[in-house]
Amino acid sequence: MGGDHGPRVTLAACRKFLDDHPDAQLLLVGLPEPLAGFSHARASLVPASEVVLMDDPVEVALRRKKDSSMRVAIQQVRDGEAAVAVSAGNTGALMAIARYLLKTLDGIERPAIATQMPNARGGATTVLDLGANVDCTAEHLLQFAFMGAALGSVLKGDDQPTVGLLNIGEEVIKGNEVIKRAGELLRAARDSGDLNFAGNVEGNDIFKGTVDIVVCDGFVGNVALKASEGLASVIVGFLKEEFSRNVFTKMAAVCAYPVLSALKRRMDYRRYNGAALLGLRGLVFKSHGSADEVAFEQALVRAYDAARNNLLQRLQERIAHAAPLLARQAAVAPAASALAPSADIPAALHR
């Protein structure tokens, strides 16, 4: 039913996606009427009688709208009818419904949202969490690191992607108590050979591409992501304004067009659309609510690639491999239960 723009955008993206991926099949979940016009040999309709609205509280989405398109889509994953679900809807509702229907993997207490940001090395840095958890313990951050490593290994085809802990300095004494303790856990995981932990990283390392995976709590990750998006759009706006100032700058824009369009492409957040909800017993991807056709197709492609590359299985294997370590840490965690329980109020990410 598709985020801010509805089926008009999602259906067009679906058609493009099917054309580009001859092996893919789609289940279109939603109100029958708006989806009725779509016909394709590899697409079928799964009806739902309700839609979760962007401003529905999580409780409403979870408890009252039991036949929402979002819920029915995730049921397809739970029941093995679909390999992965993609939604451009309300993030908080999506996370809550996914968590309720799919449950978390053994060893994972909190699912996390992971996305990729372009870096100076021409690749992308995977960052998690981006808003599912506004208060994390050190143990949660350790779990995120393992989930991020699994995603990174699928994305990069590298079995031991490097993991950094987002902090305000590289030295181990930096940060608050949670971060310092997370650093200890991550170093222990490195020393036992379970994780390629590269130490603390800072905000600029996300874009430098210092490590493959950056781990942080959802509050910090969300702010960093949105601040970067804000800066990028200010820069694009500035260039547009300056290049259209007069006839000379307009001519300059024509000359500089190849470079400017390369920059625009590089900074185009649509190309990085599609965040993974990690830590669940099923694959769910979240598209930006404001996604246009290009962006929504990108989310479909990411979800498809993740499913085809057995992300879920790799996650399970990696978490299972790390299970003794995770269990040991959970058992000795001194303050985990003292933190405010706030995981159930997910963030506004990707609204």
Q: Cα 340 to the chain's mean position, in Å?
A: 24
- Report if residue 220 touches a copy of itself, rule: CB under 8 A: yes
45/25 Cα distance (integer angstroms)? 11
Phi, psi of 312 (to 5 degrees): -60, -45
- Report if residue 202 touches a copy of itself, rule: CB under 8 A: yes
- Report if residue 242 touches a copy of itself, rule: CB under 8 A: yes
Query: How many residues bind a copy of itself, per CB under 8 A?
Result: 69
Helix H or strand E segment including 276: strand 275-278
- Which region among 154-162, 240-248, 300-308, 321-329 touches a copy of itself (by CB under 8 A)? 240-248
**Minimal distance in Å, beta carbon 168 to a copy of itself?**
4
- Report if residue 45 touches a copy of itself, rule: CB under 8 A: no
- Which region among 44-52, 167-175, 278-286, 294-302 touches a copy of itself (by CB under 8 A)? 167-175
- Report if residue 179 touches a copy of itself, rule: CB under 8 A: yes
Residues near 71 by Cβ (< 8 Å), separated by ≥ 6? Answer: 48, 52, 65, 97, 101
Nearer of residues 49 and 261 to a copy of itself, judged by Cβ: 261
- Report if residue 205 touches a copy of itself, rule: CB under 8 A: yes
**Minimal distance in Å, beta carbon 199 to a copy of itself?**
13
216/167 Cα distance (integer angstroms)? 8
Among 13, 26, 195, 347, binds a copy of itself (CB under 8 A): 347
- Which region among 40-48, 151-159, 319-327, 340-348 touches a copy of itself (by CB under 8 A)? 340-348
Residue in the structure block whose two tokens are 């996914």: 98
Contacts 24+ apart (CB under 8 A), 113-116: 113/218, 113/275, 113/276, 113/277, 113/278, 113/286, 113/349, 113/350, 114/147, 114/148, 114/151, 114/275, 114/276, 114/278, 115/225, 115/272, 115/274, 115/275, 115/276, 116/155, 116/272
Among 78, 103, 156, 174, binds a copy of itself (CB under 8 A): 174
The CA-atom distances, in angstroms, between 349 and each of 5, 106, 225 are 17, 25, 9
**Minimal distance in Å, beta carbon 72 to a copy of itself?**
26
Among 20, 59, 177, 317, binds a copy of itself (CB under 8 A): 177
Among 27, 54, 134, 294, binds a copy of itself (CB under 8 A): 134
- Report if residue 59 touches a copy of itself, rule: CB under 8 A: no
Q: What is the side-by-side strand order in the sheet with 124-128?
A: 84-87, 283-286, 275-278, 112-118, 124-128, 213-215, 163-166, 197-201
For a copy of itself, the binding residues (CB under 8 A) are: 118-120, 131, 134-135, 166, 168-171, 173-177, 179, 202-208, 216, 218-220, 222-235, 237-239, 242-243, 245, 248-249, 251-253, 255-259, 262-263, 266-267, 340, 342, 345, 347-349, 351
